[in-house]
Structure formats: structure tokens, C-alpha cells
Amino acid sequence: MSSTRTQSRTVVIVVNYRTPDRVCALLDSIVETGSLPLGLVIVDNASGDGGVEAIQAHVETRALSSWVRVYGLEENLGFAGGNNAAIERGRAVWPDAEAWFLLNPDTLVKKGTIAELDAVLRENPRAGIVGSQLEDPAGSPECAGHVGDGPMWQLATAASSRWVDRLLGRAFERVVAPPATRRCDWVSGAALMVRDAALRDVGPMDDRFFLYFEEVDFCRRVRRARWQVWLVPSSRVVHFEGSSTGISTGRVPAYWFASRRRYFRKHFGTTGLVAADVAWLAGRGVRLISNLVTGRRVGALPERFLRDLVTADALGLLGVKES
């Protein structure tokens, strides 16, 4: 399929860790839309699996070298650090880029995905971050935006109950496939475009978050600097959730708890972290009661999740240094 250049001044950013086949499929999906971004940067987080060579070979086979750059990092910097490194390299090649589209390697883009985000940035000069509507592989919409990023978020997440959501009202809302572009507090980092001016204003993503919660932190910082965050349902991205991290199966890794703890302490203090944990436990209690009443056994936790959560935050409150 032939592809044409658009007037997009957006550079796509992809951080790979041992998913070269996914990255190649993502590249193909961008080409197949028929409209190319200004450029695309792929960094490999020291996968050590030959992924850099495999991706570079695919780029050369598809004749994409004029607008795609592939770099291998010497160490695994995590999601935030990897994106920061990729943007730094992208600026050296495309210094006039106006936006950076952070895409997970386990995604595929659909026709108009980038153009729809670009349009919102053009039409709203205070839009600092715009996010795509996520879909699962079957085409069903997933939650891609949220209103509320404090302790009540944890209550709603743990409870996963419609009546709890209604009770919280405007304090927390999951935004799934809204009828029109709408403002949110934060959007998923799986498909997040940031205006270059906003990025320069607030600085890079906080690389102390190795993986997870970095996009919530980033969106909060952008909003604090008086930029806006929007979810754009006309921009659609297929997300194979968990395939790039493995967190969807088995025991949740320690870095997830460390990132969660860092987020709440950074923005809400120690009291906020305690409130988030209490809210989560209350929400879990609601879920268990709901299971008893309905006779269903849904929403099972990952292996040792409750123990790991309480232990990790207790050690953090006792002053044990975070990784």
C-alpha cells in the first residue's frame, strides 16, 4: 500500500522491551493508514534478545528508513526513562516537531488515529495532552480516560461497582468511548500525544517511575501548568493490554507498588498514601460483599496482591528507601 506524507508535525515514540514482533506490526499499521507522521523513534530498553536488529531489518525491508529511527539503550530505563530518551533522540533529528505521540509497542493504530489528535491540538491551543480511545482486539472500547486521580480513584478501582461510581459522582469517572472529544484528568499512556510546548513547559516524564503511574503523574503536572488533557474518541488504537509487560498474569511486580506509592506520596503526601490504601481496602470490602450477595466470584486479585500492597506501603512509611 502506498503512503503519503501529511502536514503532521508529530513524531511517534515507541519504547520496546522484548516485543519486536509487536513493534513491527505497529509499524505496519501506521504505514497502512496511508498517512505518515513526521518521524518515528523506537528505542529498545536493553532487551538483549536481538530485537534491535530484528526491528531495524524490518524497517529496511519496508523501506522506512527515511522517517524511522531505531536505537538500542545500554540499560533498561523503564517506560518514562525510555520515552524521555526517545524524545531526546527525536529532537536531534526533527527539531521542529510540534507533538510527540507515545505509543505502547502492544498497540495498532487505525486510519486517522494521528490526524484526529493533531486536529485537536490545532483547534485548542491550551490542549497539552490528547489521548486516543483504546479498543481491545475484538473492537470493544476500553477505559482510556479518567476524571479523578486521588484516593477515591482507588476506592472505585477496588470496588468496581456501578453504585460506588454513582456515589462518587464527579470525584471519579471512567471515560469510555464518549460521544465527543472531552476533557479528562488523565489519559492512558498506551496512546498519549503531548504538545511539544507543553512538554518543554513541564519537563520530561518523571523517570523515577520505572513503570506504571507515570502517565497519571505526567498528566497531573501538565494540568498544574494550566494545560488541558483531552480524550479523543475519533482517534482509535487497538491495545493488546499486558502483552508488553506481562503484568496481567501472575504476581504483580514490586515496581508497580513502588510507582503507586511514589505517585500518592508525591502529590498527596504520606496522609494521601494512607488514605489511598484505606480507600482501596474499603473498595475491596465492597467487592467481596457484592460477590457474596450476587453469588458470583469475579474480580479475583493477582497472587499475593493484598499482602504485597500492605507490606510495600508499610515499609515505605517506615522509611525504607524506594527502589
Helix residue spans in the chain (DSSP H): 20-32, 51-61, 78-93, 113-123, 151-159, 162-168, 196-202, 214-224, 254-294, 305-317
- Identify how many contiguous H helices and E strands the chain contains and give both numbers: 10, 14
CA dihedral over 217, 218, 219, 225, signed as positive or negative? positive
Per-position pLDDT tens, the chain of length 323: 344 445 799 999 999 999 999 999 999 999 999 999 999 999 999 999 999 999 999 999 999 999 999 999 999 999 999 999 999 999 999 999 999 999 999 999 999 999 999 999 999 999 999 999 999 999 999 999 999 999 999 999 999 888 999 999 989 999 999 999 999 999 999 999 999 999 999 999 999 999 999 999 999 999 999 999 999 999 999 999 865 555 555 899 999 999 999 999 999 999 999 999 999 999 999 999 988 888 776 667 899 999 999 999 998 888 776 54
Q: Residue 191: CA atoms inside 13 Å, Cβ hemisphere, count?
A: 31
Please name each of the domains of the chain with its CATH number. Answer: 4-141+177-239 (3.90.550.10), 254-317 (no CATH)
Chain centroid, CA 200 distance in Å: 19
Q: How many CA atoms lie within 13 A of 1 on its CB side?
A: 11
